[in-house]
Each structure stands twice: as structure tokens, then as C-alpha cells.
Structure 1
């Protein structure tokens, strides 16, 4: 049973790109199968390091300082502070959006007659 992550992402980014969400879901893969690993705890320093090193640096290819990347993670966390549980897909989407890197996950092609 696959979960639809789009509604959660759209709480923070109403015009969220469904193809980019699907790409992030593919990137997260098996980690989304268990509830605990599908959530992110930004109060856990190891988790912040994991997001910074694994997602921001490796996947998005960012070379900003650790302090700047951590600041961005915390800014997105602040945006999501109303949610007691922070979904990994949503956090990753908002970080990719923040850094202008959604295209890594597959932007949609314009529908016929719209582009």
C-alpha cells in the first residue's frame, strides 16, 4: 500500500510539483516503508547531520558550509513546526524547493498546448 505524500507537501507548498514528489519518494525508497524512518526529528542532532550529509550534500550536490545547510534545515523545520510529526518526503521537498533543486527529481513536461 503506497502512501500519497502530496497532500502533506501541499500544506506547505500548495503548487507542489507531483513529479518532484514522486522523485523524492523514489529517492527515499525503503525508508518510507516504516513509520519511524519516514519521519524526521530535527531535535535529534544525528538526524540533522543525516539530512545535511545524505540529502543536501550527496543528493542535491550542495557545497555550502555545514552551518548554512543546518540553518536551512532549521528554517524548513520552523515552517513545519505546526506538525508534531515531520514527514521525510515533505522536509526533503521543501529543502529541494528552498535550494532551487526540484529539477533533480523530474520536473513535469508541459501538457500539449500549454508550453
Structure 2
């Protein structure tokens, strides 16, 4: 699935770092090859838990309480509310930006 992930990220972060976007794309890897796994469903509790546990805790190394991490995920969901498709790369970029962890991907 060929997609310019930077275009979507820049809808929400106009000065987005291209290297960080490329790093997130590398991190997501095979998940971006299928449409369904390239999107995040904020209404699916299991999906939100996966984002929190696998991305925020494991990849970004955050140890904040789940309630605080869930609040950040909810803030990104609210920011992207008008967009029918919530691209995983964009969600991860916005979360990494929120927590000051974009350098993890550069």
C-alpha cells in the first residue's frame, strides 16, 4: 500500500519532522501493508490498550499511569475526530510529539 504518510501527519502537525515520520513508518513496518492494520480504531478498547501498552509503554518507554496515557490517546482521538480514517503513523506521531519523544524515531 503506497501512501505518503507525511501528508496525513502534516494535516495535524504542519511542521512535522520528516525523519521522525520515516522512523515511525519503519517502526510500524508490516502493519502498514494492510488497510485495516494501518488504521487505529479509537472506539475499540483492545486497540486503545494495544496503542498504550505496545507503543507508549514499550516503544516510547513511558511509565505514566494508564489513566494519563489513555488521556493522551483520547486527546489525539479528539484532535483527529473529523477524519474518517485515523492513520496509525499519524496517531503515533501525535502521541510521540505529545510526550516529547519524537527523537526516538530520528
CA distance in 2, matches of 1:24, 1:2: 15
SS at match of 2:75: helix
1:29 aligned residue? 29
Q: Which runs of 4+ in 1 moved over 3 A?
A: none
CA distance in 1, matches of 2:83, 2:19: 24
Q: Cα RMSD over matched residues?
A: 0.7
Structure 1 position 37, deviation (Å): 0.1
* Matched positions, count: 106
- TM-score by structure 2 length? 0.98
The yes-or-no answer on 1:47 pairing with 2:44 is no
- TM-score by structure 1 length? 0.90
Structure 1 position 3, deviation (Å): 1.8
CA distance in 2, matches of 1:2, 1:35: 11
1:3 aligned residue? 3
- Unmatched segments (≥5 aa) in structure 1: 107-115
Superposed CA deviations along residues 7-44 of structure 1, whole A, max 9, x for unmatched, are 10000000000000000000000000000000000000
Bigger-Rg structure (1/2): 1
Structure with the higher fraction of residues in helix conformation: 2
SS at match of 2:103: helix
1:99 aligned residue? 99
CA distance in 2, matches of 1:93, 1:29: 15
